[in-house]
Amino acid sequence: MTEVEYVPGTWVAVVGERTWLLLAVAPESALVRRCWELVRSDEPLDEVLGAIVLEGFRAVSGFALLTANRAVVRGEARLQVMNASGAVEEISAAGVGTWVDRNLDDVARLRVVAGPSGPGLPVRAGVVLANELLVALSDAAPQPVSVPQPVPVEHTVVQQEEAVELTVVREQPAPPPTSPQITQVTGVIQSFDWAPRNTPAATPAPSVPARQPVTETVLRTTTLSPNDTHMLQGTRTGLVRARKCPAGHLSSDYAVYCRVCEVPLPEQVAAMLPVPVLGLLRLSNGDTISLDRNVVMGRDPSGDRGGVNLVQVGRENDTEISRTHVEIRPANWDVLVRDLGSMNGTSISRPGCPPEKLAPHIDEILYPGTRVTLGDQFFFTFEVSG
């Protein structure tokens, strides 16, 4: 039988039979009742996560949402996971703009810390105010959810449009990842495992040859104007009215919260400052593309405007991705995505929401953590940056 204890505090703890939540909201918030209804009814974790996301990050500064085989952590909450052998790892979302979502395996105890510690009190089910939540799983933990591995893309080529000179930059292949280390309990956690453990690697079909990792990035550049020189340096030009958070991140002059760390912005007069890079695209093959200008992706992308990053993905004879498939562009303080009339379409998955198909040639705003899928084999995720 699962045993749950809490340390009284200021966060809201929602305790169910198989789902546990520690939430940084006012106890009178309607979100508390909504989460309790979902947890009490034993709804899937994604349903609870969707309710939190729908409320908005301005209303929910942090949370830890747990089951025996999955954890989602955001803000100041810290999760400590102990397995049956006594090894402990800590999961934290420090420095992450959205949240950390982890699959768990062989869990014996879960401890969420969001404030000062103290004596623990038992709770069977319900809603209480708490700084800590301790869940002891006496039965064997359920098997971890199997996560399908994305099919790797053969290569990525980034071209800065206007072919006058050709510069080839060859990158060394990334070293193989080291095995995650688990630290035995000694009173101090010395190392953290940030990657899902015991996740089986995808086995390629025998008839499909293994695809080679990306080793080249090709940039085509020309200097027709002073602006092009700035583009070579990977920066956006111009000034914009902006406000700063205590960490120095820039947000729009009408923003109330920082767009990067989401803390309240102090009272200040907006100033004319250089336009910041709004984020990056993290491709499913591990590459990243900075959003310092427009990006056009496809099997063999083309465009007639200067200063565009042309990102080639897939193989030339692979028709799953169109030649010119999708465009991503910074627009003021927003990042927009547009399907360019592709054959197999483009879908987006906002955090906590089901995928939806993009209408061709219609701009949609990309929110941090949104995944964009071209066809069904290649995707990228938008991440905000300072």
Last residue of a domain, which of 84, 109, 136? 136
Answer yes or no: are the C-beta atoms of 362 and 338 closer than 8 Å. Answer: yes
Name, in order, each residue with C-beta under 8 angstroms of 264's C-beta and a sequence gap of 6 or more: 256, 257, 258
> Would you say residue 359 lies in a domain?
yes
Note whether 264 and 370 are same-domain residues. no
CATH number, domain at 356? Answer: 2.60.200.20
Note whether 260 and 369 are same-domain residues. no
Give the pLDDT confidence of 38-91 residue by residue, as tens digits.
999 999 999 999 999 888 877 888 999 999 999 999 988 999 999 888 888 999
Quote the CA–CA distance of 9 and 218 in Å, as a whole number: 55
Give the per-residue pLDDT at 44: 93
> Would you say residue 219 lies in a domain?
yes
Note whether 335 and 270 are same-domain residues. no
Choose among 110, 8, 35, 23: nearest CA to 62. Answer: 23
Quote the CA–CA distance of 164 and 144 in Å, as a whole number: 53
Listing DSSP states for 198-209 in one string gives SPPPPPPPTTSP
Give the pLDDT confidence of 92-151 residue by residue, as tens digits.
887 777 889 999 988 999 999 998 888 889 999 999 999 999 999 865 444 444 445 555
Note whether 354 and 222 are same-domain residues. yes
Give the per-residue pLDDT at 146: 46
Number of domains composing the chain? 3
> Would you say residue 191 lies in a domain?
no
Note whether 54 and 163 are same-domain residues. no
Note whether 354 and 386 are same-domain residues. yes
> Would you say residue 178 lies in a domain?
no
> Would you say residue 285 lies in a domain?
yes
Note whether 267 and 281 are same-domain residues. no
Note whether 314 and 259 are same-domain residues. no
Would you put residue 339 in left (φ > 0), alpha (ψ -120 to 50) or beta?
beta
> Would you say residue 197 lies in a domain?
no
Note whether 10 and 26 are same-domain residues. yes
Give the per-residue pLDDT at 93: 85
Note whether 33 and 78 are same-domain residues. yes
Tell me the HSE value of 211 on the side-chain side, using a 13 A CA sphere.
18
Note whether 227 and 262 are same-domain residues. no
Residues of the chain where predicted confidence (pLDDT) is lower than 70 = 138-237, 303-306, 316, 386
Range of the domain at 269: 239-274
Note whether 270 and 291 are same-domain residues. no
> Would you say residue 207 lies in a domain?
no
> Would you say residue 301 lies in a domain?
yes
